[in-house]
Amino acid sequence: MVWLTGSYVTAIWIVLFAAVTVSPRIGQLLNLKPLTFMGMISFSVYLMHLIVIVLFQYKIVHKHFTFGTWSYFGALAILSIPATLAVSWAAYRWIETPFI
């Protein structure tokens, strides 16, 4: 089943490539500042997201909400998504950038 993941990723890249070459508007959409920012910090997001989620889950959310409820997962998402983006930007800025 692992090979299916690679197939989906390849198919998505083929569709994106075809869309960008056929329509310049999609290329312009992909060049928007928020999307280029996410692409810039994506590796840091990949490295930091689990650390931030576990930290918020055990230090804050688990103490105030019942596990398995929508409010638990909602609070975890509301806290961890902005924190992950902030920590990832900081890691990109002060750790990755000096070594690139």
Residue 83, token pair as written in the block = 């924190």
CA–CA gap between residue 41 and residue 90 (Å, rounded): 9
pLDDT tens-digit map of 10-48: 888 888 788 778 777 877 887 889 989 999 999 999 999
Asked if 72 contacts 66 with a C-beta cutoff of 8 angstroms, the reply is yes
Phi, psi of 32 (to 5 degrees): -65, 145
CA–CA gap between residue 28 and residue 25 (Å, rounded): 5
CA–CA gap between residue 93 and residue 98 (Å, rounded): 8
Res. 62 pLDDT band, cuts 50 70 90 = confident
Task: Estimate to the nearest angstrom the gap between the alpha carbon of 89 and the chain centroid.
Answer: 11
CA–CA gap between residue 1 and residue 22 (Å, rounded): 32
Question: pTM (2 decimals)?
Answer: 0.75
